[in-house]
Structure 1
């Protein structure tokens, strides 16, 4: 019996060691899931006023064992596997949304007040299209021709159409409306371009500024503001949302995201290769916001002048705005950003960006480009490649986009005076219908 007991205990210990080792091996993947869930639940409650966080979780095998809770006052949320493993927390701060951190963020500046008064669209009544063709285009964008399962997979939640500066049509899914902020994901990168543009216009920043990080005493010192914005910095990066990759580690494990990106070594000579990198844009924000207002800079320089009263750009635990991913705004506010750039940075009769800023910001990068990044410019996506060939033939060649994960898009068509904002949750549909819907809208408004 003693021998059997010894064998059983040894086996149990071996299993425990194996389980523990497996947990620590898989932990980077687990905290990606719990970090996403905690941040999502906190932000939906604090920013969007929604309590259906599960509706914004992408397909994930962890979902059945995920336990998420939100504080009764909406000030924080946590998520863990079975409520105990790989637990992550997110904390809400007025004006700044939610931050994934070990404790509530301290030292954030007082947020600049933002009024709707500067925004001509914020207080308008719901705009119903008078044109049957525009109505049909929005119906196509919402998948009215699909069955319930297909419409759910398409996941369109809001479409706003502006023509020659006027709000001509909009439509929202059940539970959403003109006042519901939605996460733009990588459309935030396009807004970062505008933030840099504001600083350039004020003479605070030059696109050719280098020696951006004190610890860069090697070849990285040659990296410029322009190269960070165009994702040609050459810093090693992996944008794949998978176990232990650069992007998941930055978003869900690193309290100081900018410092983490700055620690990466060079994989390419600066300026020689375009590699899509949310880290590049987040580091750019770390560089340009330091000593210039920090997390409040987007509110002061963009949200207040444009009257984007619902807009929020969330910071990391160090206080740096997460400019690659985490801006929320209503569909009308996203469309307002499109109208602002269509007007080349003039708003309310005041020039906020240097003349020609958008023309240069939407020129596709002319260097070696990683697969899938054709048309990438300076935080915006052009509808042409560097050689002039058109990418989406359904839309005019001068079209450009802000584009984000899960089907977020602001489509700007200067030659037609059209801006279209589409927000939704489309993690799995083969066709999010944005381009075809936009083409129908443009044709209908000619």
Structure 2
């Protein structure tokens, strides 16, 4: 009995030490854990509730935390690490998607958006082109026909030539009605949406005094600075646990206010530093100026282009997360690219200033830049030093790019829009998409 008592005391002591250690780790690494659980909760909610899929785990990046995540999908989607600490919660609102929030949300009623005026909504793919079909094959898998191929995570491809749907393919479990997340391709759409509001006289590129708390040098930050990523606000875009980008997306209920509260690290306009934070500050300004709040995209670019599948998810303050959270079918992404190719003309109406795309694709000479060739929401083929980013493509090619391999290439001289969506977190998919665009040019000559 005495021996058993000692064993019990030792076991209880070990459990106590483990609990204390685990609690200590939680408080020490709490913010890191919360960014991981926030990602998992938001991902599971959006994949199931918005995209209608049942396998959200296939959209989690490789990370040592993933095996320890516990996710419960329901009316409120929750995620925790082994049940320790307060779980992160994601709440779904019809028409607005999923939002990380600890309590109920009141986002208002989403404006209905029909597909009227969208030429790709019910389009039938033009007559089959064997060369183009072979090129699309290569965008889904790498390898010779007689070999075991390596799947590269492509989930949807759409090719448009001269405004006509000429090629389309989907991976198993996806089709033309499945919304897919564009990640930072959302920034390119933000540029277009901003252009529409400039055309309407709501804002202008040189507007400053954008946030009430900017009473210092930040007051000189303009709309154009935010679009060009040269606002100078302190930032780190590294997708890692605990960095500003992951803190903003998975810990901050009001993302625009969080970023607006950061100090200047550089003089305004002096350094180009890619920043999702800048885009979210911009959308906080646009949502406020228009008075549309969460409904901003639906009453502007969604309605105008007939993007009936599109959902732009907001933060808990009700501001669309314009840096990252636009979901749409590949066909609707292609409509966005066609709108940019047509310089803002849509169904006979000029919705952007006539020089908007030219301005967006004109580069500012920054002595220091971590993303040379980035204009206002788009990446250009011609780099500041005159070399080509993609030598195999025409000089006028430009692109929208997103996390995990999302990419849309627009080539006005060829009347071509190529959209690739998928999940390729461990390698770049851009070479695959560029090759698809080059092959499409050759196939469609």
User: So what's the TM-score if we normalise by structure 1?
Assistant: 0.93
Is 2:256 the counterpart of 1:285? no
1:389 to 387, 390, 401: 387
Aligned partner of residue 116 in structure 2, secondary structure: helix
CA distance in 1, matches of 2:97, 2:9: 54
Please say if residues 109 and 294 of structure 1, whose CA atoms lie closer than 8 Å, have aligned partners that are also in contact.
no
Q: Which residue of 1 aligns with 2:437?
A: 438
Following superposition, the deviation at residue 4 of structure 1 comes to 12
Q: Counterpart of 2:81? A: 81
Alignment match, 2:355: 356
Q: Which shifted more, 131-140 or 141-150?
A: 141-150
Deviation, 1:14, is 5.8
1: CA distance, partners of 2:338 / 2:51: 23
Cα 1:256/1:394, change in 2 over 3 Å: same
3-state SS of the aligned residue for 1:32? helix
2:40 pairs, out of 37, 40, 51, with: 37
Q: Which ranges in structure 1 are unaligned for 5 or more consecutive residues?
A: none
Aligned to 2:51: 48
Q: Give 1:3 shift.
A: 12
Tell me if 1:104 matches 2:97.
no
Contact 1:34–1:86, Cα closer than 8 Å, also in 2: no
Number of the residue aligned with 1:25: 28
Task: Report the equivalent of 1:117.
Answer: 116
Q: Distance in 1 between matches of 2:238 and 2:271?
A: 18
Alpha-carbon distance between aligned partners in 1 of 2:416 and 2:132, rounded to the nearest angstrom: 12
TM-score by length of 2: 0.93
**C-alpha deviation, 1:144, in angstroms:** 5.6
Aligned counterpart, 1:227: 225
Alignment of 1:1-400 (within 5 A): 16-71=19-74, 75-85=75-85, 87-106=87-106, 108-125=107-124, 127=125, 130-143=128-141, 145=143, 150-151=150-151, 154-292=152-290, 293-371=292-370, 373-400=371-398
Contact 2:405 2:428 in 1 (8 A): no
Instruction: Provide the alpha-carbon RMSD of the alignment.
Output: 2.1
Evaluate the alpha carbon distance shift between residue 8 and residue 445 of structure 1 in structure 2; reply closer, same or farther with a 3 A threshold: closer
| Range moving further from structure 2, 116-125 or 307-316 | 116-125
Q: Is the 8 A contact 1:68 1:83 kept in 2?
A: no
Q: Deviations over 1:108-133 (max 9, x none)?
A: 232111111221110123x2662221
Task: Determine the C-alpha separation between the residues in 1 that align with 2:64 and 2:245.
Answer: 20
Q: 1:148 to 1:279 in 2, by over 3 A?
A: farther
Flag the 1:212–1:156 CA change in 2: closer, same or farther, 3 A: same
Q: 1:7 & 1:68 partners in 2: Cα distance?
A: 34
Q: Which moved more, 1:280-289 or 1:6-15?
A: 6-15
State the SS of the aligned residue for 2:109.
Answer: coil
Given the superposition, is the C-alpha separation of residues 145 and 88 from structure 1 closer, same or farther in structure 2, using an over 3 Å criterion? same
- Distance (whole Å) between structure 2 residues aligned to residue 15 and residue 88 of structure 1: 23
Deviation at 1:25, TM superposition (A): 2.0
Q: Supply the distance in 2 between the matched residues of 1:117 and 1:66 (Cα, whole angstroms).
A: 42
CA–CA distance in 2 between the matches of 1:134 and 1:230? 35
User: In structure 2, what is the Cα distance between the partners aligned to 1:31 and 1:148?
Assistant: 40
Distance 1:171 1:15, change over 3 A: closer
Match of 1:419, SS state, is: strand
Cα separation, partners in 2 of 1:438 and 1:369, compared to 1, 3 Å: farther
1:198 and 1:17, CA in 2 relative to 1: closer, same or farther beyond 3 A?
Answer: same
2:142–2:150 contact (8 Å) kept in structure 1: no
Cα distance in 2 between the residues matched to 1:175 and 1:114: 25
In 2, distance between residues paired with 1:375 and 1:256?
A: 30
Q: State the distance in 2 between where 1:70 and 1:274 align.
A: 40
Task: Go from structure 1 to structure 2 and tell me whether the alpha carbon gap of 1:58 and 1:48 turns closer, same or farther (over 3 Å shift).
Answer: same
Ranges in structure 2 where 5+ consecutive residues have no aligned partner: none
Going from structure 1 to structure 2, the CA distance change for 1:13 and 1:312 (only over 3 Å counts) comes to: same
Gap change, CA 1:317 and 1:119, over 3 Å in 2 = same
SS at match of 1:157: strand
How far apart are residue 370 of structure 1 and its match? 3.2
